[in-house]
Amino acid sequence: MRDWVRSMFRPVDCASLVVFRVAFGLLMMVAVARYFVHDWIAALFVAPHIFFPYPGFEWIAPLPAAAMYAWFAGLGLLAACVTIGLWYRASIALFCLGFTYVHLIDRTNYLNHYYLVSLLAGLMVFLPLHRAGSVDAWRRPACRAATVSAWVVWLLRFQLGVVYVFGAVAKLNPDWLLRAQPLRIWLGANVDLPMLGVWFEQPWTAYACGYAGLLFDATIVPLLLWRRTRTAAYIAVVVFHLLTVLLFPIGMFPWLMIALTPIFFAPDWPRRGFGRRIACAPSPSPPALSFAARQRLVAALLGVYAVTQIALPLRHLVYPGDLYWSESGVRFSWQIMVAEKYGRANFRATDPASGESWTINPGDYLTALQVRMMATQPDMIRSFAEYIAADFRARGHAGVEVRSDVFASLNGRPHQRLVDPRVDLAHLGDATASTAWILPLERRPEGRRVVGTAVVNGTVHSAGVAASANLERRL
């Protein structure tokens, strides 16, 4: 163990970390710009009347409209400072806090790559990625260094490796392996693509792509770590993620992985490729470090972080039921593009004292995106029922019970009830209590569906006497 700790503190070239910092900063500037270009700030943080905060973070709320726009402008400015290494520590710390705050406001907006950004930004607060190729190093000579401890590079490799490895673990499920779902649905929506579309009509194509994706995720980390296969592996990374961009519009995630995966190359690769324009000239290697208490503390903290990142994606194993049906443990687990759900939710509020009953139209409370996301996620269905009860209580109807009749389809199966329509969802008690109100998934054969148009869409319509929320959603 002592030898291992010493090896983690051996000096390595910091050039690759300079490239990592610049790539991360530039991508974050683009990510923030997209919020302005597509007006997502208004759609996600101004237009909604209610939000779905994460458990334990109910105190987090969006700022007024003008302040939210200013907040995102500030995030863009902080990302620029990170890119050039200006006031690096303060800039990355504030960016991490600001970005994480934005995405804790509403579970509706959860995306795996937002979670990854928060993790990487949080790590970067403690990593010396500004010691070279930065304004800080130019302004303060005492800050300059040509080497860092090896654990800094390995920590970033580990974090990206976790995404790939658990991406493979997520694909080890019967739908992916035996039914080629949801790839059969998604590829069927791309049959109009030039050259590639004709192949997507073949039944075997989805199976081939599914197993190829599993093989890629399962092997790419060791191939990137082995020097002899590293270049070929990175080419595979670029090709794989570009195909993802072409077929499945999932935002910034493919670009993040393309831009940041070069951290797996030798730490001095930018210097060999670009010379001193990337980093300052190497300094003499310092003498071997002693096995100090500080090193043991850092090693222990790294171990705790690694165990946490490995355990968190596996927590769903202790929850009952199908992972993608109940969605208990889906978030923060790198369940990337492995399921598609379609849902229709009906809500009714009843006052047991007076016998009055009201049909609830989710669209009267929620935006179209919130309706779309809520209708397939049991925890959000429950949160919406609690909000309805609170709204009626504020209007003088204490003790109102709220029930929901939800039909959902997972990976092309026929619709079936997702939650027990007899249960009062507004008064279930402790959020960590039994989830018996979530009905089990019946693994019946998949039903017929039309897949020739856009895969992700949502509408709100009337169904009988109750309002319904329809959605088609990718995980």
pLDDT digits (tens, 9 = 90+) for 35-85: 999 999 999 999 999 999 999 999 999 999 999 999 999 999 999 999 999
206 vs 297: CA distance, rounded Å: 48
- Residue 475, pLDDT score: 63
What's residue 450's pLDDT? 38
* Confidence (pLDDT) at 471: 41
pLDDT value of position 431: 56
The Cα–Cα gap between 473 and 475 comes to 7
pLDDT at 238: 97
- What pLDDT is stored for residue 144 in this prediction? 87
Cβ-count burial of 433 within 10 angstroms (0-12 exposed, 13-18 middle, 19+ buried)? Answer: exposed
Predicted pLDDT at 285 = 46
pLDDT for position 141: 87
Give the per-residue pLDDT at 444: 62
d(CA 106, CA 431): 17
Q: What pTM value is reported for the model?
A: 0.88
Distance CA 22, CA 133 (A): 9
* pLDDT on residue 288: 47
Output the CA torsion sign for 79, 81, 84, 89: negative
The domain locations on the chain are 2-279+293-317, 339-474
- What is the rounded CA–CA span in Å between residue 46 and residue 40? 9
Q: What is the model's pLDDT at position 291?
A: 54
DSSP per-residue codes, 14-33: -HHHHHHHHHHHHHHHHHHH
In the chain, which residues have pLDDT < 50? 279, 281-289, 448-472
Q: What pLDDT score does 295 carry?
A: 81
Token reading at 20? 């990592």
Positive or negative: CA dihedral 215, 220, 225, 226: positive
